[in-house]
């Protein structure tokens, strides 16, 4: 598709992806964060306490499977997003450390922290250097090489299962995830559906997500002042996973991420379609989930689409990219 003529408009700060969480900021990144995280992991491995897990079969889609009451699980997520405008350079590394707890057999609670790194150069609309959404507080020049690392924020997560797919024809759960970062708040809500076949080895999942967010950013017209900008993500995720041999599952996901500069689905700015495979291994003490997704060239222009953000049928606004690779580790000793 052809882009519109160049207009000096800054990409409006939109927001995260689907289920996952790339949340917001804090200034001075602390290098010791990683070291502390590694120490925490090491202590976990040495802990005589026992963890139990309910692992994700998909990279992005959620299922209604929850931890049993009283059980605890540690997850480490790593999501790499790369490739935006042709000829430019872009990567974003999102890291998430999560602790889940089975409050009851129907309610699972979690808390997690997100900390990201990025590099961008001539990656955005019209080849301008454009930070990823988590780093939209920065305003580098159009030809600057931008690098940053930040502690993004803290999220809480609650999933309540109303119906189990093991005892009813269709599983159903509701999900709520508030996120708090510096100058940023988000409330992500989901409806989660799950249908199982073939001795529960074939799992179909569908998620519907509604996630309004508020971000305090510099005004476009007067950068010396800040304003609250709102945006809403509305996503649909579909996934199918099959356990083809003991411990191993293969899955395929397709999802549509939409962004609106409103709460009521008006002023749509972006819409991207992603699809890709997932491979999942679960053993007695841990699981690993690896996922790759590519944005399909199915994007179109919408009323609030930033000029220059639609390239070759793909949206490259600051919350979209061509490729995503996600790896999740979970421990339950």
For position 162 contacting another protein by CB under 8 A, the verdict is no
| Number of residues this chain uses to bind another protein (CB under 8 A) | 49
Bridge-partner residues for 158, per DSSP?
109, 176
For position 298 contacting another protein by CB under 8 A, the verdict is no
Q: Which is nearer to another protein, 166 or 263 (CB)?
A: 166
**3-class DSSP assignment, residue 210:** strand
| Of the residues 82, 101, 210, 252, which one makes contact with another protein according to CB under 8 A | 101
Length of the chain: 333
| Of the residues 5, 8, 43, 225, which one makes contact with another protein according to CB under 8 A | 43
* Integer angstrom CA distances of residue 1 from 4, 26, 255: 10, 37, 21
Q: Answer whether 109's CB lies under 8 Å from 67's CB.
A: no
State the nearest-atom distance from the C-beta of 207 to another protein, in Å: 21
* Integer angstrom CA distances of residue 205 from 21, 113, 161, 163, 284: 19, 26, 14, 14, 24
- Mark out the alpha helices in the chain (DSSP H runs): 32-46
Q: What's the rounded Cα separation, in Å, for the pair 192 and 186?
A: 19
From 27-35, 137-145, 262-270, 297-305, give the range in contact with another protein by CB under 8 A: 27-35
For position 124 contacting another protein by CB under 8 A, the verdict is no
For position 53 contacting another protein by CB under 8 A, the verdict is yes
Q: Answer whether 255's CB lies under 8 Å from 281's CB.
A: no
Residues binding another protein (CB under 8 A): 26, 30, 32-33, 36-37, 40, 43-44, 47, 49-53, 68-72, 74, 97, 99, 101-102, 105, 111, 113, 151, 153-154, 164, 166-167, 181-182, 198-201, 243, 246-247, 282-285, 332-333
């Amino acid at each position: 598709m052809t882009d519109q003529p160049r207009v000096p408009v800054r990409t409006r700060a939109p927001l995260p992806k689907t289920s996952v969480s790339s949340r917001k900021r804090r200034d001075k990144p602390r290098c010791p964060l990683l070291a502390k995280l590694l120490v925490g992991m090491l202590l976990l491995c040495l802990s005589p306490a026992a963890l139990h897990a309910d692992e994700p079969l998909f990279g992005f889609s959620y299922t209604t499977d929850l931890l049993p009451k009283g059980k605890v699980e540690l997850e480490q997520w790593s999501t790499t997003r790369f490739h935006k405008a042709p000829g430019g350079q872009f990567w974003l590394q999102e890291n998430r450390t999560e602790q889940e707890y089975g409050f009851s057999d129907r309610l699972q609670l979690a808390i997690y922290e997100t900390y990201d790194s990025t590099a961008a150069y001539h990656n955005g609309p019209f080849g301008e250097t454009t930070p990823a959404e988590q780093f939209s507080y920065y305003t580098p020049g159009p030809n600057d090489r931008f690098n940053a690392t930040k502690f993004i924020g803290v999220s809480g997560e609650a999933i309540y299962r109303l119906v189990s797919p093991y005892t009813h024809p269709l599983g159903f759960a509701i999900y709520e995830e508030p996120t708090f970062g510096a100058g940023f708040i988000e409330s992500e809500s989901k409806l989660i559906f799950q249908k199982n076949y073939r001795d529960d080895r074939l799992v179909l999942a569908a998620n519907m997500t509604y996630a309004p967010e508020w971000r305090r950013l510099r005004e476009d017209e007067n950068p010396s002042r800040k304003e609250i900008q709102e945006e809403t993500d509305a996503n649909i995720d579909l996934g199918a996973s099959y356990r083809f041999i003991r411990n191993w599952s293969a899955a395929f996901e397709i999802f549509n991420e939409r962004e609106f500069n409103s709460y009521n689905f008006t002023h749509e700015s972006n819409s991207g379609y992603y699809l890709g495979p997932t491979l999942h291994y679960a053993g007695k003490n841990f699981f690993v989930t690896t996922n790759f997704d590519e944005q399909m060239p199915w994007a179109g222009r919408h009323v609030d689409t930033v000029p220059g953000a639609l390239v070759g049928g793909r949206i490259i606004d600051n919350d979209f990219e061509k490729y995503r690779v996600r790896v999740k580790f979970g421990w339950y000793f």
